[in-house]
Amino acid sequence: MNFWRSLVGKLWITIICLVAVVLITLGLFLLPYIDSNFANSGAIKRLFLYTCMIGFSLTTFFALFLFTKITQPMQQVIEAANNIRKGEYGTRLKLMTSDEIGQLATSFNHMAAELEANIRSLNHEKAHLSSVLRSMSDSVITFDTEGNAILTNPHGQHLLEAWAGLDGEEAEGEEAGTKLAAAALAVPAPLRTLFAQTLSEGRDQRANVHVRQGAWSVHMAPLYVENQIRGAVAVLRDVTEEVRLEKMRTDFVANVSHEIRTPLSMMQGYSEALLDGMATSPEESSELVQVIYDESLRMGRLVKDLLDLARMEAGYTDTAKAEVNMSELLERIFRKFSVRAKERDIRLTLEKPDGILLLKAADEDKLEQVLTNLLDNAFRHTPAGKAIAIAAGHTVLEGRRYLEIVIRDEGVGIAEEDLPFIFERFYKADKARVRGESGGTGLGLAIVKNIVEAHRGLISATSKVGEGTAFTLRLPVEKQ
């Protein structure tokens, strides 16, 4: 710090100027008097000069004393305050005096200690809040009154970036990039209505929003500061799976009701016909009874398949795993369906290696059920004059050996949009529903998938409408 701009420097200059004015004034009045009235005027003038020098020396000494006692401690206080301003909250003063400067230093140290403790507490709370937000699986986003995002957790930031493209889908090039960057910091389009309601009504709002293929449950609450709304905080939970499961549950109830209602109606109708004596001959009575019996068998198959599927999905698949000769199993299945192929005028072929295809740990009965269901579906959807092929061989996926079985038909095929759902329960109850002579329950492919997954295997399907469908079954050769 410049001495001449300090308090002591200004005070010293003021004293020097005052002493100089006094001495000059005295000199102007005394020097002529001394020259005219004193014989030894030179000695008096020297005495006057010595007095001036001593005066200037004393003022300088007192100025330096004041600089040491006042300016230097104040300089330390200023330096310590600047350090705290820069974030060095551990700065303390070491002035051990009993005057006002010492009291100022004590108060400063106490203030710095309190400030450091408060800052540490705030940082701890901030870190704790940040950890809580990061650990939350829900998305948390805080907006100000202008709609700008001011605080998010990682899930919320990812959601903002994903939803920012909803406003910029029609833009192109640099304009699209600018819009996306701006939208990533603003209220996304799906939340704007809820955000406006929260600010206008000043209370919590709840809603479900659907974005692209996802569903989100949103709870938005206003943020108050001194009884004024300063923004809103939104908590978003991905409920896509819950919505999908609820839809599956609803569809399941509807499909089961549909599947059971048809045979029940037929059984009730034919029973009433028998009770009303509408059968005029034993042959007609026998025919009505046969229909009732067939429908009861169909209901029995439906209930059995539902129970089996429920047990499989609950993890209670009863499998007696042992070494299975898949070559013999495939030949047995081929012979079983050869008769049906001749009756339907369908070419059935089997291709497999010359060697023996073995699975070290598998349930032969369950695998026979899988192959039977797949071939039964192929026959029900393949018209006369077409072909169904069974091909088997080995393949290696991710360093693991699999037995690969492909069942390919030349049937009506499956639409591309329906392929992801063919392994769900009652798939045949949708628009692709086809009833064959076997009167299936619509649970076959769901059971097939569960059996294959119980063997740690994989199953997939490819299809093209009008050309046919191919089911690819891969079973691990080695014991899992």
Contact partners, residue 228, CB within 8 Å, separation at least 6: none
- HSE toward the beta carbon, residue 343, CA cutoff 13 A: 7
Q: What angle do CA 164, 165, 170 make, to 5 degrees?
A: 135
Residue spans of alpha helices (H) in 382-476:
444-454
pLDDT in 10s for each residue of the chain, 480 residues: 466 665 556 666 777 776 777 667 766 666 666 666 555 667 666 766 777 777 777 777 776 766 666 677 777 888 888 988 888 888 888 877 766 777 888 888 898 889 889 988 888 888 887 788 788 888 888 898 888 888 888 888 888 888 877 765 444 444 544 444 444 557 888 888 899 898 888 889 998 888 888 888 999 999 888 888 888 999 999 888 888 878 777 777 776 776 677 778 878 887 888 887 777 788 878 888 888 887 788 777 777 767 776 776 666 666 678 888 888 999 988 988 888 888 889 999 999 888 888 888 888 888 888 898 899 888 888 888 899 999 998 888 888 888 999 999 998 888 888 788 788 776 653 444 444 444 555 677 887 888 888 888 899 999 888 888 999 999 998 876
Integer Cα distance of 404 and 376 in angstroms:
19
pLDDT tens per residue, range 370-403: 898 899 888 888 888 899 999 998 888 888 888 9
Structure tokens that stand for 396 in this block:
């290696």
DSSP-based three-state secondary structure for 214? strand
By DSSP bridging, strand 214-225 and strand 205-211 are antiparallel
Residue spans of alpha helices (H) in 276-360:
282-313, 326-344
Structure tokens that stand for 192 in this block:
């704007």
Cβ neighbour number for residue 63 with a 10 Å cutoff: 19
Q: How far is CA 13 from the centre of its chain?
A: 71
Q: Whose structure tokens read 């300089």?
A: 75
pLDDT of residue 427: 63
* pTM of the entire predicted model: 0.49
- The enclosing H or E element of 260 equals helix 240-275
